[in-house]
Amino acid sequence: MRLEVQGIAIAVERLTSTDVPVGETVVIQDVVSFANFSDHWGNALGFYQLLSPRSLLSEPEPEPERRRRDTERAEEVERERAAGEAVDSPPEPSASQLPPTGSGVPERDPR
């Protein structure tokens, strides 16, 4: 797992000042710099710093439009949940649909 930082040099310095072994800082010119390290359980971790601004693939939606879509999706999820509950719990049988008491139960041999 890698975590984004604003300054890779500061992040690496903080780790080394607390005796955490850190690998070499790798720089990919005008793209990213990163340094890897591991915690005391051996999990692979790292810090990275973007060296150029991010470009968005699409413009953010206007706030009212996003709110409308979020509301529609929440309503859809609620309808699906309610429909799932109806399928999961069959209706209770009425008294007229129940077999007579003791029917289908074999008598025990008193021997």
Does residue 45 have a pLDDT over 90?
yes
Which has more pLDDT, 75 or 62?
A: 75
CA 6 to chain centre: 25
Over residues 80-109, the mean pLDDT reads: 69
User: If residue 63 lies in a helix (H) or strand (E), which one and from where to where?
Assistant: helix 63-88
pTM comes to 0.49
If you search the block for the tokens 């129940």, which residue do you land on?
A: 98
What is the identity of the amino acid at 94? S
Cα–Cα distances in Å, from 33 out to 38, 56, 77, 93, 107? 17, 20, 41, 67, 81
What's the CATH class of domain 2-50? alpha beta
Is residue 34 a contact partner of residue 2, using CB atoms and an 8 Å limit?
yes
Residue pLDDT, tens place only, 16-35: 999 899 999 999 998 999 99
Task: Give me the pLDDT at residue 94, please.
Answer: 66
Sign of CA dihedral 68, 70, 74, 79: positive
Domain boundaries, the chain: 2-50
The DSSP secondary-structure symbol of 59 reads P
